[in-house]
A = this chain, B = another copy of it.
Amino acid sequence: MSALPSSARRGEPMPSAGTASPLLAVRDVTIQYRTPDRLVTAVYDVSFDVLKGDRFVLLGPSGCGKSTLLGAVAGFLHPAAGTITLDGREVRDPGPDRMVVFQEFDQLLPWKTVRANVAYPMITSGRFDRRTALERADAFIAKVGLSAFADSHPHTLSGGMKQRVAIARALALEPAMLLMDEPFAALDALTRRKMQGELNELWEDTRFTLLFVTHSIEEAIVIGNRILVMTPHPGQVRAELDASGLGEADRGTPAFAQLERRIHGMLFGEAHG
């Protein structure tokens, strides 16, 4: 990959180094899928850093390898080349230090109540004892506004409620990083907006580190402070942008619209810069 610093940043030192030491460092990562008779390259030579407290968004068209990249960070997949390190240790397996919230509604264990679902990984990971886990579970269920449903089974909840439980479950574990793969994509537009707002509030509240996948430009800007724009398949980095000044409240402002247009241009091949 030929790094071409944009005009604004020309001549600066290694940009990915930043100033603080990164929590997550993805370096020259290439990821391939092995199908029964082919070897498919999904992600090619991607590098980026996520700092502690970042809301880092992976944005790109469908099929560009966002989920693949997130999966590699989560430990489900192993890069064919390059390294992924979390807090200096290489990522090998999935683990409770990188909780994942998926797009699908079926990520909750249907055989457990909402409370048990939230408490379960806390207990199995051995990080909290049973009592503390249940207490924390109740606290985080309250945070996502579902206290009334703590004893319900997931199948009695709506899609949005399920996603909230999944977020509560992930946050309650205090993971080093929270990974979210289009968590709101299957929700209707109204609910989706509401959830975006809630996520931002939760972040204000607990300041977790977030790696967030989406293919909605608007969502990327509302949620992220850094946005990694990816190319179509095979996924490469197109740009790493700053969105720290823009949030929900800025929807419809000129700055918001400008960034939106800029990203749109990058994604859909119009002139940039």
CB atoms of A216 and B190 under 8 A apart: yes
Chain B residues lying within 8 Å of A185, measured Cβ to Cβ, are 188
Cβ distance A178 to chain B, nearest Cβ, rounded Å: 21
Tell me the count of chain A residues lying within 8 A, CB to CB, of chain B: 13
- The interface bits of chain A over 157-197 (1 if a CB of B lies within 8 angstroms of the residue's CB, else 0) are 01000000000000000000000001001101110100000
Say if the beta carbon of A153 comes within 8 Å of chain B. no
A58-101 contacts to B, CB under 8 A, are 62
CB atoms of B189 and A186 under 8 A apart: no
Chain B residues lying within 8 Å of A158, measured Cβ to Cβ, are 62
Chain B residues lying within 8 Å of A62, measured Cβ to Cβ, are 158
Residue of B nearest to A182 (CB): B188
Copies in the complex: 2
Chain B residues lying within 8 Å of A188, measured Cβ to Cβ, are 182, 185, 215-216
CB atoms of B190 and A215 under 8 A apart: yes
- Specify the main secondary structure of chain A where it touches its partner: loop
Cβ distance A218 to chain B, nearest Cβ, rounded Å: 7
Residue of B nearest to A219 (CB): B189
Cβ distance A184 to chain B, nearest Cβ, rounded Å: 9
Chain B residues lying within 8 Å of A186, measured Cβ to Cβ, are 186
Complex alpha-carbon distance, A188 and B181, angstroms? 13
Complex alpha-carbon distance, A148 and B17, angstroms? 46
Complex alpha-carbon distance, A219 and B190, angstroms? 11
Residue of B nearest to A185 (CB): B188
Complex alpha-carbon distance, A218 and B215, angstroms? 21
Complex alpha-carbon distance, A182 and B188, angstroms? 10
Cβ distance A47 to chain B, nearest Cβ, rounded Å: 28
Chain B residues lying within 8 Å of A219, measured Cβ to Cβ, are 189
Chain B residues lying within 8 Å of A190, measured Cβ to Cβ, are 215-216
Complex alpha-carbon distance, A62 and B189, angstroms? 13
Q: A186-B186, A189-B216, A189-B219 are in contact. List 4 more A-B contacts (CB 8 A).
A: A185-B188, A188-B215, A189-B189, A190-B216
Question: Could you list some 13 contacts between A and B, CB below 8 A?
Answer: A62-B158, A182-B188, A185-B188, A186-B186, A188-B215, A188-B216, A189-B189, A189-B192, A189-B216, A189-B218, A189-B219, A190-B215, A190-B216
